[in-house]
Amino acid sequence: MAILKLQAPTKDYLWGGTRLVEEYGKKSAGEVTAESWELSCFPGSESIIENGEFVGRTLTEYIEEKGKSVLGTNCGKFQDFPVLIKFIDARKDLSLQVHPSDEYAREHENQFGKTEMWYIIDAEKDAFLYYGFNREVSKEEFAKRIEDQTLTEVLNAYPVQKGDVIFIESGTLHAIGAGILLAEIQQNSNVTYRVYDYGRRDKDGNLRELHVDKALDVTTLAPVKRPASPAPHIGVSKYFTVDKISLSGQITSKLTGSVDQTSFLHILILDGVGEIKNGCGGMHFKKGDSFFLPAGSGNYEICGTCEAILTYES
């Protein structure tokens, strides 16, 4: 089966920047381009196939026509396509927010919850993100600090640099800070409960909606216990497994692997250039490119000088 090159829909959220367009060649979403959805079957924001017999059609249509076998047997435990992968360019701070568990989201939103991980591609000097609380708080204190806008005083301000990996379980209060560019691998869900947004207004002059009552229901009020390293992977959950590769072009210039019947493979090129190929052919790639290899597509090879993250179901 052929390797599918994917085109990403983009989002113009008010905190975004211009790097995804200028450096990664993404389609402009407007004055700012905050996110590009690199692997998506989310309704209305699906990835578009750029090559082969399905060119111009969505990844969702490809799966519907080919059958769920292209996702692999490990995806049989999921009702829908399990993951959503993005580039995120935060020129400004994102809102403080939290995601619910599957159980809460199904009951209240008719969607799945959202567990996610971030790989920091680049970060300005002194950049940080908010990652849970710096001490345990009560539900009453949490509510009061939201009301009087002192919530950041009890949050864990977490400095980041290129190469850091942060795992965000559902229930963890968090926010990406200004000056951070990252790749996000998450459950296929768009449920976010916004707690605080710095009083910002959208392009129509309206304050953005907050979801305080639901956030009070789902937020974990103790400091985050960081999980042990999942080496040799950089991220592992019941929803996805993520690996990172680096090819120097000198000592290591080629990676070979195989995509069997258990799972698809998604390859996101973080930097560099090269070529990807399998038994059905190949194509050159550059920084920002996104590829879907169907389950059962067999041996593949990546050659060049690049960094990439590989996501699959295990």
Q: Looking at 19, 91, 194, 201, which residue is catalytic?
A: 194
Q: Which residues of 18-54 are buried (b: 16+ CB within 10 A; e: fewer)?
A: ebbbeebebeebeebbbbbbbbbbbeebbbbbbeeeb
Torsions phi, psi for 212 (to 5 deg): -65, -45
Q: Kindly give, in sequence order, each residue whose CB lies less than 8 Å from that of residue 43, ignoring residues fewer than 6 positions away.
A: 60
At a CB cut-off of 8 Å and minimum separation 6, what does 238 contact? Answer: none
What is the sign of the dihedral through the CA atoms of 151, 180, 116 and 36? Answer: positive
DSSP 3-state of 195: strand
Given a contact cutoff of 8 angstroms between Cβ atoms, the answer to whether 229 and 247 are in contact is no
Q: Which residues, in sequence order, are bridge partners of residue 308?
A: 245, 269
* DSSP-assigned letters across all residues of 27-63: PP-SS-B-EEEEE---TTS--EE-SGGGTTSBHHHHH
Is 194 one of the annotated active-site residues of the chain?
yes
Quick check: 297 and 3 in contact, CB under 8 A?
yes
Q: Provide the H-helix boundaries in the chain.
A: 19-22, 59-66, 102-109, 139-148, 212-218
How far, CA to CA in Å, does 41 sit from each of 89, 229, 257, 282?
21, 29, 25, 24
Which residues participate in catalysis according to the annotation?
194
